[in-house]
Amino acid sequence: MEHLLNQHVKDIEISGIRKFSNMVSQTDGLISLTIGQPDFPTPAHIKNAGIKAIEADFTTYTHNAGTLELRKAASHFASEKYGLDYNPESEVIVTMGASEAIDITFRTILTEGTEVILPGPIYPGYEPIIRMMGAIPVHVDTRQSQFRFTLDLIKPYITDKTRCIVLPYPSNPTGVSLTEEELKEIAGYFKDLDIFILADEIYSELTFGRSHKSIGCFLKEKSIIINGLSKSHSMTGWRIGFLFAPENIAKHILKVHQYNVSCANSIAQKAAYEALTAGLNDAVTMRKEYEARRDYVFQSLQAMGLETVKPEGAFYFFVKIPDTIPLNSFDFALDLVKESKVAVVPGSAFSKFGEGYFRLSFACSKETLELGLGRIEQYLQKWR
């Protein structure tokens, strides 16, 4: 019966991140620097809110868009942190993580043959959804611009088929973020174009040196902003995301969300409300620790002679594989596991423009980083 399946689904593959992780996960003594989630526990007061919700039998469906109290809290969060203005009654949708928000957005705005412009390298979660809609992902090479997806790079790829551009900042895998000036330039150019902007801002609370800026402040009418609590409050498994969009767009996305999941988990919504009220600044402590780890890893990589961009947000380094190593990124990562029992993510998992690099996560303890980086340094010696 396989021949009857949707060809768009048959043509996509499992994420390169998952594929590689599954291959090496059973290696004894492995130091994993692949993890894409915080290593901190969910704050206790948030967990307690979830427990209380269970005990209070808050276990039924909520409004499709999420409880109004949570939507109000999310709206306040977006306003307080980033200066965004969204009506909680009609312009905020609580989703099953940022992943579902991306899915329902693409399923609402894309049609067969339309194009989506994305920076490369990029997190692999966008392209499969685009392709399942029969749309075409158009990757733009950002390697020569320090991974910055600037207007000058975007403009040559705009066609009459362009339906959307994706701004995934702070970036997974590069840690790069766009400045206010760069965002204003993009907003000014797209103001008169019938093109959506999808801004995935899931790492917005984890920025270093400067606060996050959102394209929604400059071009609200065409922007769909995605955020959530997975990274900011270490709540990956709670699966709570937020979608912010103008009412005339959000009302249609809500229909797709309704038929997809009905509503987000009711227990998790109560925990999320606690996170965005009593825990509004829970990310601060984690961010300070990430910044210290970032500085340590950056100094270590430089001492090894490895080329990388210093992350401005998130918790990843995207590191160039030395020219002296005659292996593609997947084989390099496999060899590193085999020889030194350290796992990193091959750059090829992040589009063809990630080839020649590897992603290293610093969402792990200082001790783990020290041990892992020490093993990488020893491994590099055999190629010198």
Q: Report pLDDT for 250.
A: 98
Residues 42-54, mean pLDDT to the nearest whole number: 98
Residue ranges in 262-346 assigned as alpha helix (H): 266-276, 283-303, 329-340
265/269 Cα distance (integer angstroms) = 6
- Quick check: 108 pLDDT over 90? yes
DSSP annotation of 360 reads: E
What pLDDT score does 28 carry? 83
Q: Is the pLDDT of residue 82 over 90?
A: yes
Question: What pairing do the DSSP bridges indicate for beta strands 223-228 and 342-343?
Answer: unpaired
Q: How far, in Å, CA of 309 to CA of 176, rounded?
A: 8
Q: Is the pLDDT of residue 24 over 90?
A: no
In angstroms, the CA 330 to CA 24 distance is 12
CB 111 within 8 A of CB 117: no
Average confidence (pLDDT) over 204-230:
97
The H-or-E segment that residue 141 falls in is: strand 136-141
Judge whether 129 and 101 are in contact, CB under 8 Å.
no
Helix (H) or strand (E) holding 115: strand 115-120
The yes-or-no verdict on residue 216 having pLDDT over 90 is yes
Report CA dihedral (24, 29, 33, 34) to the nearest 10 degrees. 20
Q: How far apart are CA 145 and CA 153, in angstroms?
A: 9
User: Given this model, what pLDDT does residue 307 score?
Assistant: 98
Per the prediction, the chain carries an average pLDDT of: 96
The structural domains of the chain, ordered by start, are 2-41+282-381 (3.90.1150.10), 59-276 (3.40.640.10)
Q: Return d(Cα 344, Cα 306) in angstroms, integer.
A: 14
Is the pLDDT assigned to residue 22 strictly greater than 80? Answer: no
312 pLDDT band, cuts 50/70/90, is very high
Give the global pTM. 0.96
Q: Which residues contact 120 (CB under 8 A, 6 or more apart)?
A: 139, 140, 141, 142, 350, 351, 352, 353, 354
Residue 115, token pair as written in the block: 């194009």
Give the pLDDT confidence of 219-248 residue by residue, as tens digits.
Answer: 999 999 999 999 999 999 999 999 999 999
Cα(230)–Cα(211) distance, rounded to whole angstroms?
19
Q: For residue 201, give Cα distances in angstroms to 170, 215, 383.
A: 7, 10, 38
